[in-house]
Chains A and B, each alone.
Chain A
Amino acid sequence: MAAMAEVVLACTSAAAVADKRSRDARSTHRPTVLAFDVTGSLLNMGALSPFFERLFGDGSVVHEWFGQTILYSETATLTGRFTAFSDLSGGILRMLGAIHRVALRSADVDELKELLSTLPAYPDVPLGLRRLKDAGFRLVALPDSSESVSSKAGPLANAGLAELFDKQFAADSLRQYKPSRTTYAMVSQELNVSAASVCMVAAHVWNLIGAKSAGCLTALLARNGVAPLMLAGVPQPDVIGLDLTEVADALVRLKAP
């Protein structure tokens, strides 16, 4: 019951922002290309919890690991110290091992990498993507790591979603990570469309702040209590929904008002 109450509350204020933003966006731009974040947005990182539970005795360490990996991917971009995403995520795992005094083996790092490539899609994702594709949007993927997209055994392929995407980009092909604006600009430039016709869809607000700075539209998947960052001077998402079903509804309305 407590969990349900949380969702409803989160929904109320998120929906208020979304309504206003959808009206704003409708009056200006309509997206034709949807660029999707992958890990945590389309694919469920909850599948990593048992791994962290086994190693650290606490499945919620997955949030610390992912949060620190994102923090340090930003640091790598800001300082020009590009480090491959899997090296970074493995290094963060070893750092957490040292902090929590847990002895890690290199096999643990390998196991995490394997788990990351076989994350399941959230249940709303396959239908949501197909509906958007049928509505005429071009779907592309824009994860941080090329390991998420390039191989036939990549996470999107493993989750059975690869064929829904026209193209799979990766931020690290520029030796930078999101939310660096050039990573979003790559999508519009390579597809030869204006930045404003690309809508970035992600479950992380930082990701959308970067997309906005590149001139894209943005849609927030407010999964699992994700909420907007209400801060003067920081642009808000154009669309907010609790999952891809809700976000797809709003995007389809945007496309054909």
Chain B
Amino acid sequence: MAELPLIVFDVNETLLDLETMTPTFERILGDRSAMRLWFMQLITYSQALTLADIYVPFTDIGAAILAMLGEARGIKIGEADRRELTDRFATMPPHAEVPGALWRLKSESFRLFTLTNNTAAISRRQLAHAELLDVFEQCFSVDESHRYKPAPEAYAVVTRALKVSAAMIYMVACHTWDTVGAVSASWNAAFIKRAGNDVIDVLPEPPITGCDLNEVADRLIATYRR
């Protein structure tokens, strides 16, 4: 039997349901579609700040993006709005198939980890609320390198800590920027096609894709356990 790769999961939207943020945007900005715009800008600015060698915690950037979108619409964002945004983000439920698929992988002896753009504190709150903390051996955050994914340093922290060759690590994510970052760090990658996301054909495509985590887990188990 082939040696099992270590599996590292992205958290926001990959494991947890980002769509549950939508009512917050509907209430504050009066626009359901602003949620996707907000998340896209959040990722854009996390990468821009990394290119500029500036590090600010992820949820702080998220609150500032909300204020920016509010100002564009003439809506003032108050402290209660920021708190609601962060609280919602820290308590997103998992996608329906996620707990079962993760425990299935674990029962097949895969070692499971996370690597998130959130701080360790927010990440712990998220995974505890989603009742997923126990399935992971260790949870990593970009807070350690102060470089947001997909900067190579974010993945290198994990490679060093896991003490395996980079090729023995799989990144599982629903964002192409994350799988491109992982592949560029010499990891393997699997892509989940969550609603609102897809691969980009001019960038390195991940060897495994699936419509949800069950499909990706099936492929990993078929490849390494059968």
Contact = CB atoms under 8 A, between A and B. Distances in A.
* Contact residues of A: prevailing secondary structure: helix
Interface in A72-91: 72, 74-81, 83, 87-88, 90-91
Interface string A50-81: 00000000000001100110111011111111
A9 B222 CA distance: 58
B180 A75 contact: yes
A107 interface: no
Main secondary structure of the interface of B (DSSP, over half): helix
A90 B177 contact: no
Contacts of B218: none
A67 B60 CA distance: 20
Interface string B57-69: 0001100110110
Contact of B48 (A13, A94, A206): A206
B51 A210 contact: yes
B52 A72 contact: no
A206 to B, nearest CB: 4
B48 A95 contact: no
A99 B151 CA distance: 26
A180 B51 CA distance: 5
Contact of A74 (B47, B67, B71, B152): B47
A79 B184 contact: yes
A237 to B, nearest CB: 13
A232 B184 contact: no
Interface residues of A, number: 51
B56 interface: yes
Contact of B200 (A10, A72, A209): A72
B52 A226 contact: no
Interface of A: 5-6, 8-10, 13, 63-64, 67-68, 70-72, 74-81, 83, 87-88, 90-92, 94-95, 98-99, 179-181, 205-206, 209-210, 212-213, 224-234
27 contacts: A6-B73, A6-B74, A8-B74, A9-B74, A63-B37, A74-B44, A74-B51, A75-B180, A75-B203, A77-B51, A79-B181, A81-B203, A83-B202, A83-B203, A87-B202, A91-B201, A95-B176, A95-B200, A179-B52, A180-B51, A209-B49, A209-B52, A227-B72, A231-B56, A231-B64, A233-B55, A234-B54
Given A64-B36, A79-B152, A233-B54, 17 more contacts: A63-B37, A67-B37, A71-B177, A72-B200, A75-B150, A75-B176, A79-B181, A79-B184, A81-B203, A81-B204, A95-B176, A209-B52, A228-B68, A229-B64, A229-B68, A231-B60, A233-B56
Those 5 A-B pairs whose CB atoms lie nearest each other, nearest first: A225-B72, A213-B52, A91-B202, A227-B71, A79-B184
